[in-house]
Amino acid sequence: MLMPKKVKYRKQQRGRMKGKAWRGSSLAFGEYGLKSLDPAWLTQRQIEAARVAISRFMKKSGKLWIRVFPDKPYTKKPAETRQGKGKGPVEGWVCVIKPGRILFELEGLTAAEATEALELAASKMPVRCAVVKRHAQAA
């Protein structure tokens, strides 16, 4: 499972997801990418599901880069617990996604194959996504 090896603080506040992605919003490694169009929390399981879908489609050809990492802990209190008594234990890890963030990048596939692979991954995502090409960044 994807999660940090070590963190400075065990629990974090929830924060806000306003604004567009400033960093990580352009292709850095591959020819094709999957770009987020909405803000959301991406869980470690969603990232893994998308990675497996892309890997299975690609078989042994091409290269995949995962541009997001779940480094934010989220907590949850047990069911039927009264309020108060502090913050609950860490339940899992998420990655904060803002609109415009590149989630995955691919290289070494044809345009049609890359688009199909990234659309498979997009179906696993909790946000609307767009497939972007290196020569047409504005898409």
Q: What is the pLDDT along the chain (139 residues), one digit of tens a residue?
A: 778 899 899 999 999 989 998 888 899 999 999 999 999 999 999 999 999 999 999 988 899 999 999 999 999 999 999 999 999 999 999 999 999 999 999 999 999 999 999 999 999 999 999 999 987 545 5
Tell me how many domains the chain contains.
1
State the Cα–Cα distance between residues 132 and 139, nearest whole angstrom: 6
Would strands 129-133 and 32-36 be described as parallel, antiparallel, or unpaired? antiparallel
Write the DSSP string, 49-98: HHHHHHHHHHTTSSEEEE-----EEEE-PPTT--S-S----EEEEEEEE-
State the Cα–Cα distance between residues 75 and 84, nearest whole angstrom: 14
Looking at residue 17, its pLDDT comes to 87
> Are residues 43 and 70 in contact, defined by beta-carbon separation less than 8 angstroms?
yes
- Domain assignment present for 27: no
Looking at residue 138, its pLDDT comes to 52
Residue span of the structural domain in which 115 resides: 32-75+90-133
- Domain assignment present for 120: yes
- Domain assignment present for 80: no
- Domain assignment present for 46: yes
- Here the tokens at position 56 are 């299975």
Query: Beta partners for 23?
Result: none
- Domain assignment present for 19: no
- Domain assignment present for 82: no
- Domain assignment present for 16: no
- Domain assignment present for 58: yes
Find the CATH number of the domain harbouring 71.
3.90.1170.10
